[in-house]
Amino acid sequence: MIFQLILVAFQFLQPDPTFRVENKLDISRQEVVSISFAQLEKMLGAEFDPSHLQVQESKSQRPVLIQWVDIDQDDHYEELLFLADIKELETKSYKISLSDEADKAVQSGIKTFARFVPERIDDIAWENDKVAFRTYGPEAQRLTDEKLTGGTLTSGIDAWLKRVDYPIIDKWYQKYVDGGSYHKDSGEGYDPYHVGNSRGIGGVGIWIDDSLYVSKNIISHKILANGPLRSIFEVSYAPWMAGIATIQEAKRISIDLGSQLYHMEVSLKCDSPVPNLTTGITLHDGTGDVNSDPKAGWISYWETIDDTKLGTGIVADPADILQELAVRTAVTDQSHIYLILKPTKKISYYAGFAWEKAGEFSSLSEWNQYLKDFSKKLATPLILKFE
């Protein structure tokens, strides 16, 4: 989960500097926290070796999982991520130390992961220890445009229902290459979720005069970071039309360890003003339960897929929401619950799901509570205090 952090910085001279993470909510939180490289240089000096750095809980002396990020791919880190586990209304102290040996960071068998998948008609897929997603690439569009079998024409977001905490993307795609199917559950989960030309879980468009205008498949991608705590990638689309406006659309998508939701940042360039950006969740046959609280910033859908329940949802900053809109129609794949958002240059929201067979959510009320808590965490970020 990517949360804005409130920083209170002071110079300190001790060899192992400490800092505190404060949780002002009465909700326990396990979140990925970011410290800028510039802040670390203030604390440790400009010549420290990142490969020797550790972050520890001060009280227990327990090292925590970390990840360095070079988001602009210039061989210089911009930030350090670490996994903070904070109880309700707790302030926890952490220590930064430099080990005598390099690469002594905590290792974990669970992680986030994202990759381009040319062996399956150019999908791009991403996952963490809870959930997995994919969207579709140029080869899938070419097959559709040429009326060949196996194509998919959509910028919607697909869900892979996993019930194990280890990565499955490579394993399931290898099953496909070997002639098997990830549409059957052999104990790890499977892909029964139908996207078609819907928005799936968190795809975007522009809503004008009771019609949704959308892009086609991605045309390019770039992986920016890959686990263990956060995976980040970018995708772009061919220009598309929304009414009289020509749209250039790009997305930065990231997923954090432990979260049911991925983070979507959409950048739009338009040659004419557009009234909104719209994201949504497909309602499939429309027999599930729709819930929403636009004032708190979330929408949800609870439906039956095969023999079990699936909850899907989107969380956004309430200040960015123009309205919530439910559309039910006989047209295949066009029934949705939408959040219609202000058309700023960069639009941010979170989308994802919870599958009953994964064992953590068993009711609509539990899923809605997760989304409510998530929106509270966005509104009240953890506070970092450097001493």
Q: What integer pLDDT is reported at residue 10 of this predicted model?
A: 36
125 Cβ contact partners less than 8 Å away, ≥ 6 residues apart: 114, 115, 117, 132, 133, 134, 160, 169, 173
Residue with tokens 């020797």: 52
Q: Is the pLDDT of residue 8 over 80?
A: no
E strand segments, 226-367: 230-237, 240-242, 245-256, 261-270, 277-282, 289-293, 298-305, 308-316, 321-327, 336-341, 346-355
Selection from 163, 154, 203 nearest residue 351 by Cα: 203
Q: What are the phi and psi torsion angles at 358 (to 5°)?
A: -70, -15
Q: How many CB atoms lie within 10 A of CB 76?
A: 9
Instruction: Check whether residue 124 and residue 83 sit in a common domain.
Output: no
Going by pLDDT thresholds of 50, 70 and 90, the confidence category of residue 9 is: very low
Instruction: Check whether residue 183 and residue 86 sit in a common domain.
Output: no
Measured distance CA(277)–CA(318) in Å, rounded:
14
Residue count of the chain? 387
SS (H, E, C) 206-218: EEECCEEECCCCE
Supply the range of the domain harboring residue 355: 113-378
15 sits in which H/E element: none
Going by pLDDT thresholds of 50, 70 and 90, the confidence category of residue 110 is: confident
Q: Look up the CATH number of the domain holding residue 91.
A: 2.60.40.1180
What are the angstrom distances between the C-alpha of 206 and each of 1, 54, 58, 217, 248? 26, 45, 49, 16, 12
- Region 25-31: mean pLDDT is 97
Instruction: Check whether residue 131 and residue 97 sit in a common domain.
Output: no
Instruction: Check whether residue 270 and residue 342 sit in a common domain.
Output: yes
Q: Is the pLDDT of residue 199 over 60?
A: yes
Instruction: Check whether residue 17 and residue 139 sit in a common domain.
Output: no
Averaged confidence pLDDT in the chain: 93
Are 206 and 213 contacting, i.e. CB atoms less than 8 angstroms apart? yes
Flag whether the pTM goes above 0.85: yes
Q: Estimate to the nearest angstrom the gap between the alpha carbon of 274 and the chain centroid.
A: 25
Instruction: Check whether residue 96 and residue 209 sit in a common domain.
Output: no
Q: What integer pLDDT is reported at residue 100 of this predicted model?
A: 72
Instruction: Check whether residue 93 and residue 133 sit in a common domain.
Output: no
In a domain, 119, yes or no: yes
- Region 325-336: mean pLDDT is 96
Is 233 in a helix, a strand, or coil? strand
The answer to which of 43-47, 156-160, 233-237 has the lowest mean pLDDT is: 43-47
- Region 268-293: mean pLDDT is 96
Instruction: Check whether residue 269 and residue 338 sit in a common domain.
Output: yes
| Two tokens, residue 378 | 């966005």
Q: What integer pLDDT is reported at residue 262 of this predicted model?
A: 98
In a domain, 107, yes or no: no
Q: Is the pLDDT of residue 303 over 50?
A: yes
Where b means 16+ CB within 10 Å and e means fewer, 264-291 reads bbbebeeeeebbbbbbbbbbbeeebebb
- Region 188-209: mean pLDDT is 97
Instruction: Check whether residue 93 and residue 20 sit in a common domain.
Output: yes
Are 355 and 189 contacting, i.e. CB atoms less than 8 angstroms apart? yes
| Two tokens, residue 307 | 């023999």
Instruction: Check whether residue 80 and residue 123 sit in a common domain.
Output: no
Instruction: Check whether residue 255 and residue 279 sit in a common domain.
Output: yes
- pLDDT, tens digit (0-9, with 9 covering 90-100), for 242-267: 999 999 999 999 999 999 999 999 99
Q: Rounded to a whole number, what is the distance in angstroms from the first to the last CA of the chain? A: 25
Q: What integer pLDDT is reported at residue 11 of this predicted model?
A: 39
Measured distance CA(52)–CA(100) in Å, rounded:
7
- pLDDT, tens digit (0-9, with 9 covering 90-100), for 144-179: 999 999 899 999 999 999 999 999 999 999 999 999
In a domain, 226, yes or no: yes
DSSP β-ladder status, 230-237 and 240-242:
unpaired
Percent of the chain with pLDDT over 90: 90
Going by pLDDT thresholds of 50, 70 and 90, the confidence category of residue 104 is: low
Q: How many domains does the chain have?
A: 2
In a domain, 233, yes or no: yes
Q: What integer pLDDT is reported at residue 105 of this predicted model?
A: 58
| Two tokens, residue 384 | 């970092």
In a domain, 108, yes or no: no
Q: Look up the CATH number of the domain holding residue 347.
A: 2.70.98
Measured distance CA(122)–CA(217) in Å, rounded:
10
Instruction: Check whether residue 252 and residue 346 sit in a common domain.
Output: yes
- Region 208-230: mean pLDDT is 96
Going by pLDDT thresholds of 50, 70 and 90, the confidence category of residue 4 is: very low
Single-letter residue type at 199:
R
Partners of 92 in the β-ladder: 21
In a domain, 216, yes or no: yes
